[in-house]
Amino acid sequence: MEGRNNGPPRLARVLLRCALDPEEFNEKSGDLEETFRYLSMNDGPWRARFWYWIQILKAAPMFMMENIYWRFMMWSNYLKTVWRNLKRNTTYSMMTIFGLAIGMCCALVLFMYVYEELTYDRYHENRDRVFRVYEVITTPTAVRKYAPIAWPLAPAVLDKYPQVEAAVRIYAFGTRLIKVNQEAFYEDRFIFAEPSLFNILTFEFLQGDPSRALERPNTLVLTKSIASKYFGDTSPLGSTITVNDQEYEITGIIEDTPRNTHLKTRIIASMKSIEDNQWMSNWHGTETYTYLKLRPDVDSQTFEQDMKRIGYDYVGELWTEWKSVHDFLLQPIDTIHLHSKLRYELETPGNLTMVLLVAGIGLLVLLVACMNYVNLATARSIVRAKEVGLRKVVGANRRELIRQFWGESFILASFTMAVSLGLLVMGLPFFNRLAGTTFDAMALLKSSSIFAVLGIIAFCGLGAGIYPSLLLSSYKPATILRGAVTKGRGGARVRKVMVIFQFVISILLAVSTLIIFQQIRYMKDQYPGFDKDQKLVIPVRGSASIRENHTQIKEEFLRHAAITGAAASSSVPGRGLSNFAIALYGEDDRKNQGMYHLYIDPDFIGEYGIEMAAGRNFEAKMSTDFSDWDKAGGFLLNEAAAKAFGIHDPLEALGRQLQTGLGGRTGPIIGVTRDFHYRGLQNAVEPLIMECFPNRFRCISLTLDTRSLKEGLTHVERIWHEKFPEVPLESFFLDADFNRQYRAEERLGRVAGTFTVMGLCVACLGLLGLASFTAAQRTKEIGIRKVLGASVPGILLLLSRHYLKSILVANAIAWPLTWWAMDLWLNRFATQMSIHIWPFLLAGAGTLLIALMTVSVQSFRAAIANPSDSLRYE
Amino acid sequence: MQLISRSEERILLTIFKLDQEAYGVRIREQIYRDTGTWWSYASIYRPLGRLTRRQYVEKAKGESTAERGGKSKYYYTVTSPGKKALLKVREAQRKIWEIVPDVALKTR
């Protein structure tokens, strides 16, 4: 051979070889080379090379066209094969598609949930330089981290640091009474904010000018849904509404805040409306949520170190004297939802573990559905074997066959995805009601969902296609066409493993669901240490007040025989409590422990059936027991609080002096109560301080006689409207309200339950498919057995035996796994039940029964078939 | 049946003309001689492929030479359906040209 420089360009030749089959290549490259050599001699090698390349490039479109044309022909043939196979066995196809569709639905729903959790606050335009400031207060005994911080920080930071472009303070005041055109509403998610809010965070303005909307006092911005609730279709811009007796002008309408923000709001009023210089210059409180927007090139960590101790420029001496350290730190706005663990968050933060757990469950269900496909496809391999044989004989090589079967699973996955999207749109409202979620099928139209949809198709197509395609393409044509492939042997072991795996997951989910609900039941049934039945609670808010006249109002209510008791308090068990610092007087090292405070009247303890451990209750007759802003009448503690002060015998606590953080007042401890669960039973009882302080009373609890409930309620309503004609009556029953605290657990339980049912459905569909195929494969065998005298139950047993074995094995694997996982989950609860064996037995027996029924539907049909039918053709 | 295209016709005629000598390089050369342009190989192979598929030409493996890098020549011959197709296209051409008198095409 000649040197490589003389021949035609190598790369071009390689390209040519790829594009053509060997014979074509032989001819064409021969022609090209002949001309190349001729040109090379006449015009020189470079011209020749150039010419060669041009020839190849000119040919390129043609090769592509040809290739695509034949690919298309082949694919349309594959498509036809898929369609025929689906049609030939409708039951099988329905089962595969339906099973996979359920799996995909689960995966899609979970994707929506996980996506929402992970994209919290990522839509803000400047999120990489917007931070929330939080405050860490370290005292000798405790470290407390607050989401709301001291008022003067924002102006101080703006004043001192040029790195800060803008700052905004938000004051969230919960619920307000709003009056529009004689109608009154309670609205929560009401916030006050400074005008810079719209510069720092992203809100979509529909009407009004974002830069000027909150500039003046007594102006506010409504979200779209609130605006249409109050004003219907008319534009509310410029109209006024009344908020707690103060008139506000509407200066803007914004789009509803998205679901994935921690700052969900409905009404934003201007901070100027409540501006108070004295109040807002207090460095010691933790009251306002503060957000900073840094300049683009500022390093946030360096800045944080700089800013951390800014409060010391103003009140450093006091803090040093109090031996407390106040640090102001930054958290990026998009990490708040999943990573922030502060006190008084605007919204209960999400939980990353929970997100991952849910994502895991979704993937498992999808996996189960994919396995189904694999199982059914390999079980049917015998049917497809002849096709494989024929294709191979006609000239298909293995690679082409793998491509075909893989393509088939892709086609099926895409088709199934279309089905599952349809199912999802129909089933989502149902799922929402079941799981207490608020997903919207329209969210699937977002671009990010397209990736999820494609991802799931790819996952199923690739994952489920790999094994069947390898298995099917491995058949030798000679063996197949001789009819020597043994019945359904292909991948029998793999199928068994997959069935076991599917049922392990189903059992795991089922047992978990049972245990979750058992635990919730258990918590609800426990006596919380107080009497929560028959209690009607009326929150007193807006312009209504019982500060001065609570005794009189209680008497009014008590006048009816159906109302057997009444008590006034600042809050009730299950609702939020104030948290103030409190100290055992004269003991420095215990200074400033944060404890929950409940303000009650003398009837509260008796009404709620709270037991005393030592000392006495407040006395209505003793005016010295009552607190006001000048003095503390006396304190009741729970046992946990006594322990927190280092007092182990409740009797020892009596008579000791306490100094409360609310007004710095001092008073004696007059009694100690037994611990009662004033918050959900998930947590241990925390220290609680009780004071008889009428100024803080905001709730009336009435004990109703259930026999005359209706009359009682009418009476309550009548009295309320007499007393507070301006304010709508709200009320709730304490037991139901208290149980709301288990909503998170209940939701988890319902989600797990839903997925259990779906997973089990999918697994059973798979089992049904498998069973029908084995039964069909063994028709003749069964016929012969029957001729030889086998009984119907005997044949049933024969056909079901190995499935039962698989399920037993699945139980054996699932039980310890579940036990371990649930033990881990239960450990988070202060009040936890012990795990019983019966949820396991129930789930085990349940799955066994369901599986048995599934299998025997098919087996029974095979077993009762007349042998003369099945053996007729031999 | 569809008429063959202009390039197919040209190639078919060239093969016809070259008789036993018609392989890629020669076909291209002959077309250059007749028309004055060098066709790219792609624009020869493409109609040639179509003609082969429709069985208007037959392809036979011939000898291999060193200047072809040891690759075989493939000789093409026109089959009888090919000849029929040529007749048909000539008939069609004739009909089209018939109505155009020579004088009408004179430009000056």
Beta strand A688-691 pairing with A666-673? unpaired
The pLDDT of residue A2 is 42
Q: Under DSSP, is residue A221 helix (H, G, I), strand (E, B) or coil? A: strand
In chain B, what residues touch A34 (CB-CB under 8 Å)? 24-25, 65, 67-68
**Cα gap A329→A319, rounded to integer Å:** 17
**Cβ-defined contacts of A258-261 (< 8 Å, 24+):** A258/A123, A259/A116, A259/A438, A260/A116, A260/A117, A260/A119, A260/A120, A260/A121, A260/A122, A260/A123, A260/A337, A261/A120, A261/A121, A261/A123
Min mean pLDDT across A6-15, A43-52, A265-274 is at: A6-15
pLDDT of residue A489 exceeding 60 = no
**Cα gap A103→A221, rounded to integer Å:** 44
Q: Are residues A799 and A715 in the same domain?
A: no
Give the confidence band of A592 by pLDDT, cuts at 50, 70, 90.
Answer: low
* Overall residue count recorded for chain A in this entry: 874
Q: Residues with Cβ < 8 Å from A619, sequence gap 6 or more?
A: A602, A625
A41 → chain B, closest CA residue: B67
Cβ atoms A737, A575 nearer than 8 A: yes
Residue A142's domain comprises 127-339
B23 → chain A, closest CA residue: A31
B70 → chain A, closest CA residue: A30
**Cα gap A334→A121, rounded to integer Å:** 5
Q: Are residues A756 and A736 in the same domain?
A: no
Cβ atoms A815, A844 nearer than 8 A: yes
Average pLDDT, chain A: 84
Token pair of B94 as six digits: 């004739």
The pLDDT of residue A770 is 79
The neighbouring-strand residues paired with A178 are A185, A243
Cα angle A538, A542, A546 (rounded to 5 degrees) comes to 55
Cβ atoms A294, A126 nearer than 8 A: no
Q: Are residues A230 and A287 in the same domain?
A: yes
**Cα gap A534→A551, rounded to integer Å:** 21
The pLDDT of residue A3 is 44
Whether A192 is covered by a domain: the verdict is yes
| Interchain contact, B24 vs A26, CB within 8 Å | no
Q: Are residues A728 and A696 in the same domain?
A: yes
The whole-angstrom distance between residue A407's C-alpha and the CA centroid of its chain comes to 35
User: Which amino acid, one-letter code, is at A320?
Assistant: T
pLDDT of residue A64 exceeding 90 = no
Q: Are residues A228 and A307 in the same domain?
A: yes
Q: Residues with Cβ < 8 Å from A64, sequence gap 6 or more?
A: none
| Interchain contact, B42 vs A55, CB within 8 Å | yes
Beta strand A732-733 pairing with A535-539? antiparallel
**Cα gap A263→A191, rounded to integer Å:** 10
Element (H, E) at A553: helix A550-558
Q: Are residues A663 and A567 in the same domain?
A: yes
**Cα gap A165→A294, rounded to integer Å:** 5
pLDDT of residue A46 exceeding 90 = no
Element (H, E) at A737: helix A734-739
Element (H, E) at A125: none
Give the confidence band of A5 by pLDDT, cuts at 50, 70, 90.
Answer: low
DSSP 8-state symbol, A652: H
Q: How many percent of chain A have pLDDT more than 70? A: 95
Count of domains observed in chain A: 4
Whether A508 is covered by a domain: the verdict is yes
Cβ atoms A777, A488 nearer than 8 A: yes
Q: Are residues A579 and A713 in the same domain?
A: yes
Token pair of A243 as six digits: 């908020």
The pLDDT of residue A436 is 65
Highest mean pLDDT among A366-380, A565-579, B22-36: B22-36
pLDDT of residue A487 exceeding 60 = no
Cβ-Cβ contacts under 8 Å between A and B: the total is 59
**Cα gap B28→B41, rounded to integer Å:** 8
**Cβ-defined contacts of A79-87 (< 8 Å, 24+):** A79/A411, A81/A387, A81/A404, A81/A408, A82/A408, A82/A411, A82/A412, A85/A384
**Cα gap B12→B6, rounded to integer Å:** 10
Q: Under DSSP, is residue A755 helix (H, G, I), strand (E, B) or coil? A: helix
Q: Are residues A172 and A320 in the same domain?
A: yes
Q: Residues with Cβ < 8 Å from A825, sequence gap 6 or more?
A: A512, A515, A516
Q: What is the pTM of this model?
A: 0.68
- How would DSSP label each residue in B52-104? HHTTSEEEEEEEE-GGGTTPEEEEEEE-HHHHHHHHHHHHHHHHHHHTS-HHH
Whether A98 is covered by a domain: the verdict is no
Q: Final residue of a domain: which of A317, A339, A361?
A: A339
H helix runs in A119-207, sequence order? 153-160, 197-200
B61 → chain A, closest CA residue: A27
pLDDT of residue A773 exceeding 80 = no
| Terminal-to-terminal C-alpha distance of chain A | 66
Percent of residues in chain B assigned helix, strand, coil, to nearest 5: 60, 15, 25
Place of tokens 């039918």: A869
| Interchain contact, B28 vs A34, CB within 8 Å | no
Q: Are residues A497 and A557 in the same domain?
A: no
pLDDT of residue A1 exceeding 50 = no
The neighbouring-strand residues paired with A253 are A207, A222
Mean pLDDT of A360-378: 81
The neighbouring-strand residues paired with A252 are A208, A221
Cβ atoms < 10 Å from Cβ of A302 = 10
In chain A, what residues touch B71 (CB-CB under 8 Å)? 26-27, 29-30, 33
Cβ atoms < 10 Å from Cβ of B55 = 11
Q: Final residue of a domain: which of A676, A706, A741?
A: A741
Whether A90 is covered by a domain: the verdict is no
Test the A interface: residue of B23, B25, B41, B72 with most A CBs within 10 Å: B41
Q: Are residues A735 and A755 in the same domain?
A: no
In chain B, what residues touch A48 (CB-CB under 8 Å)? none
| Interchain contact, A34 vs B64, CB within 8 Å | no
In chain B, what residues touch A61 (CB-CB under 8 Å)? 42
Cβ atoms A630, A665 nearer than 8 A: yes
Q: A599 — phi, psi (to 5°)?
A: -105, 120
Q: How many percent of chain A have pLDDT more than 90? A: 17
CATH fold, domain B6-101, is Arc Repressor Mutant, subunit A (1.10.10)
Mean pLDDT of A457-466: 85
Q: Residues with Cβ < 8 Å from B83, sequence gap 6 or more?
A: none
pLDDT of residue A503 exceeding 70 = yes
Compare A764 and A776 and report the one with higher pLDDT: A764
Cβ atoms A303, A294 nearer than 8 A: yes
In chain A, what residues touch B23 (CB-CB under 8 Å)? 31
Q: Are residues A595 and A499 in the same domain?
A: no
Q: Under DSSP, is residue A655 helix (H, G, I), strand (E, B) or coil? A: coil
pLDDT of residue A815 exceeding 90 = yes
The pLDDT of residue A874 is 54
* Overall residue count recorded for chain B in this entry: 108
Cβ atoms < 10 Å from Cβ of A597 = 23
Token pair of A417 as six digits: 């995805």
Residues of B with CB under 8 A from a CB of A: 23-25, 28, 40-43, 45-46, 49, 64-65, 67-69, 71-74
Cβ atoms A364, A505 nearer than 8 A: yes
Cα maximum dimension of chain A: 126
Token pair of A310 as six digits: 């800014």
Element (H, E) at A575: none
The pLDDT of residue B1 is 60
Query: What are the strands of the beta sheet with A535-539, ordered from one edge?
Result: A563-569, A699-704, A535-539, A732-733
Q: A535 — phi, psi (to 5°)?
A: -100, 125
Give the confidence band of A873 by pLDDT, cuts at 50, 70, 90.
Answer: low
The pLDDT of residue A254 is 92
Whether A844 is covered by a domain: the verdict is yes
A43 vs B: CB within 8 A: no
Give the residue from A318, A307, A323 showing the smallest Cα distance to A153: A307
pLDDT of residue A589 exceeding 50 = no
Q: Are residues A506 and A541 in the same domain?
A: no
Give the confidence band of A490 by pLDDT, cuts at 50, 70, 90.
Answer: low
| Interchain contact, A55 vs B41, CB within 8 Å | yes
**Cα gap A402→A411, rounded to integer Å:** 14
Give the CA distances from residue B22 to residues A30, A577, A786, in Å, rounded to whole numbers and listed in that order.
14, 100, 73
DSSP 8-state symbol, A576: -
Token pair of A209 as six digits: 């000018």
Cβ atoms A130, A124 nearer than 8 A: yes
